[in-house]
Amino acid sequence: MECGPQTDGTIRVGGQPLNKVTEFKYLGSLIRSDGDSLPDARARVNTAWLKWRQVTGILCDRRMPISLKGKIYKTVVRPVALYGSECWPATIKHEQSLHVMEMKMLRWSLGLTRFDRVMNEDVRRRMGVVPIVQKMREARLCWYGHVIRSGDETTVKTAYNLSPPGQRPRGRQKKRWLDRLAEDMRAVNITTEDALDRAKWRKACKQADPI
């Protein structure tokens, strides 16, 4: 790999210039030219559907116990959808996409359609699956506690820039990872200081069913 004589930062591989793009996908996230990095919910949903289709022989088999279907979904399909979610500044749009995906999978696993008029809560109870949004919150809080308990000079704490925030630019602000964490901590009634107590933090975070 070598840089060409141009001053615009063109990168050449084997003498051929690489195409310049404003965004590209890396491990399920979109990396943008402005330095922003957000999860592409559609990419995670599509990947999870691919994994779901690989196990439809079990999930859609009426002879299989429902409890077994729930375990397979939680151990095979859901982790694919939540890969890297502990670092997402997730928005309502992201959560809604994953929620719709999950309910379709669970209903099809039970052989249900909307015409059966079965509530989402009943579907989850039968499958033994909590809302995927709760698992996302659990992953974010667990990771945040790890970051807080790490040393001040560690790479991970430097990368997240956990120092007191400075002045933000005017206009509508993009939701940051720390903004999402603040909402999560209010939801489970904990503070940043509680992260130093590992047992208390784990008890507050691990409220959803285990993977």
Q: Give per-residue pLDDT as tens, 30-65.
A: 666 655 555 567 788 888 999 999 999 999 999 999
- If phi > 0 it is left, if psi is from -120 to 50 it is alpha, else beta; for residue 28 that is left
Output the pLDDT for position 1. Answer: 43
Output the pLDDT for position 94. Answer: 85
Q: Would you tell me how many other CB atoms lie within 10 Å of the CB of residue 85? A: 22
Which backbone phi and psi does 107 adopt, to 5 degrees?
-65, -45
HSE (side-chain half, CA atoms, 13 Å) at 111: 9
Residue-range domain boundaries for the chain: 10-37, 39-129, 136-160+176-205
Which of these, 67, 86, 70, lies nearest to 78 by C-alpha position?
70
> What are 65-93's pLDDT values in tens digits?
999 999 999 999 999 998 888 887 788 88
Taking the whole predicted model, whether its pTM rises above 0.75 is answered as no
Per-residue pLDDT band for 115 (boundaries 50, 70, 90) equals confident
CA gap 175, 59 in Å, rounded: 36
Angle CA 84–176–34, to nearest 5: 90
